Amino acid sequence: MSQHDIYNILEQVKGGALSPEDAMLKLKLEPFQDLGYAKVDHHRELRQGVCEVIYGQSKTPEQIVGIASAMKSRGQKTILVTRISGETADFIAGTFEIDYNEAGRLGVIGPMPEPDGDGVIVVATGGTSDIPVAEEAAITAEALGNRVTRLYDVGVSGVHRLLSHAEDIMSARAIVAVAGMEGALASVVGGLADCPVIGVPTSVGYGAAFGGVAALLSMLNSCASGVSVVNIDNGFGGGYLASMMNHMRSKP
């Protein structure tokens, strides 16, 4: 949508020919930009409150740069690119300034926004091996305007490590619990916190962990109320959902 189109809509609202609600609907329903290999949704922030995120896996570096260029041309300042290699990040750096997180395999093009969420999001892991998925969640939440506290390697095999952070857990607005093996961390955190807990099962574990299925089923069967679960290794989904929760009160 061009500035001229937006101006015409605003003029109609000013003249009483269009209600503010109908004008917002028009803005939300405006078409995407067709690049041939991608259809860039420039109005996602109007509909959902968050701009489009680039899922980098299986995309070529050239395609990622093309999509990011289209987003930049429409004024998007911060662009999150998930599931990319260091080599792809280096390619992107030839066009844009990108802050690449090697552990989480994601990068942020442009500046990080100032936190505007209601509180703090806690991202906790059962073990060190879960950190890559946790970093995807943490960086996602930060790129969406949240303050994040990281509690890494606080699994139930040494539960005193988790309990030493009870104040962080009990004061959080939302918690992302990232764990593999039997996935018990989400239930334990859920039994301590008064905020929503998002379980992120990881594919960490020995044979009977079935690539994260055991942790997934354990979290789905949690006896703690207030625990929701995203897909295996889906740190992005956990961080995104936590951000939505952390911005609920600040919505107009």
pLDDT given for residue 5 in this prediction: 67
pLDDT given for residue 241 in this prediction: 97
pLDDT given for residue 154 in this prediction: 94
Q: In what order do the strands lie in the sheet with 147-151?
A: 147-151, 120-125, 174-179, 197-201, 227-229
- How many Å apart are CA 123 and CA 195, to the nearest integer? 13
Domains of the chain (ranges, CATH numbers): 32-109 (no CATH), 120-246 (3.40.50.1970)
Q: In what order do the strands lie in the sheet with 79-82?
A: 54-55, 79-82, 106-109, 98-101
H helices present in 94-234, as ranges: 131-143, 159-163, 166-170, 185-190, 213-220
pLDDT given for residue 34 in this prediction: 74
Residue owning tokens 């290999």: 37
Greatest Cα pair distance, the chain, in angstroms, is 67
- How is the chain split among helix, strand and coil, in percent rounded to 5? 45, 15, 40
- How many Å apart are CA 96 and CA 242, to the nearest integer? 28
Nearest 10 degrees: Cα torsion 47, 49, 51, 55: -90
Tens digit of pLDDT per residue, the chain (252 long)?
555 667 788 888 888 988 988 888 777 666 677 788 888 888 787 777 788 899 999 999 999 999 999 988 888 899 999 999 999 999 999 999 999 999 999 999 999 999 998 999 999 999 999 999 999 999 999 999 999 999 999 999 899 999 899 999 999 999 999 999 999 999 999 999 999 999 999 999 999 999 999 999 999 999 999 999 999 999 999 999 999 999 987 555
Q: With H, G, I as helix, E, B as strand and everything else as coil, classify residue 242.
A: helix
- How many Å apart are CA 198 and CA 141, to the nearest integer? 13
| Residue 160 near residue 144, CB atoms below 8 Å | no
